[in-house]
Structure 1
Amino acid sequence: MERLLTVAQAADHLGTTERFPRRLIAERRIRFVKLGSHVRIPESALAEFIAAGVVEPVTLSWSDGKAVA
C-alpha cells in the first residue's frame, strides 16, 4: 500500500506552511484521500504535483549578436 502523508508532512516535504497543501486540496489541484474527517495525500500525488511544476532550462543561442531562446 502506498504511503499516505498528513497535511503537516506534505507541507514539510514541500518546504511550505500547512496552509499551502490545504489550499491545494480545497482547490482540487492535488489528489487526496478522505479517511473520515482526516485528509491524507498520497506520496505519488505529491511527486506528480512537484513534477508538473518543473520548468526546464532554456538553451540560449546567438543570432546577429543577440541572445535568442
Structure 2
Amino acid sequence: MVERLLDVHQVAELLGTTVRFPRRLIEERRIAFVKVGRHVRIPESAVSAFITENTVQPVTARPEMLRRAA
C-alpha cells in the first residue's frame, strides 16, 4: 500500500496555516517531501512527525511554586 501524498494546500489545511508555511518548511528542508516531476508532495507521515516533533508539553506547577504565588 502506498502512503498518501499531500500537496501544500492540504498540508496547510491540516496545520491550520496559510499555504506559505508548508512552502517555507519545504524550502528550509524542515519537513520531508517528494518531488513528482515539477510538483512537490509531502507524505502524510512527515506531517504527523513534524507535529509530534514540535509539540510542546505543558509545564506542571510544582508545589513550591504554588506556595510562592499565594
Q: TM-score, normalised by structure 1?
A: 0.89
Q: Separation in 1 of the partners of 2:27 and 2:43?
A: 16
What does residue 68 of structure 2 align with? 66
Q: C-alpha offsets along residues 2-54 of structure 1, whole Å, 9 cap, x if unaligned?
A: 00001110111111111000000000000000001000000000000001111
Larger strand share, 1 or 2: 1
Bigger mean CA offset, 56-65 vs 45-54: 56-65
What does residue 50 of structure 1 align with? 51
Residue type at the aligned position of 1:47: S
How many pairs align? 67
Pairwise CA RMSD: 1.4
- 1:66 aligns to what SS in structure 2? helix
Q: Separation in 1 of the partners of 2:29 and 2:62?
A: 40
Gaps of 5+ in 2: none
Which 4+ runs in 1 deviate beyond 6 A? none
Q: Separation in 2 of the partners of 1:61 and 1:16?
A: 34
What does residue 38 of structure 2 align with? 37
Q: TM-score, normalised by structure 2?
A: 0.88
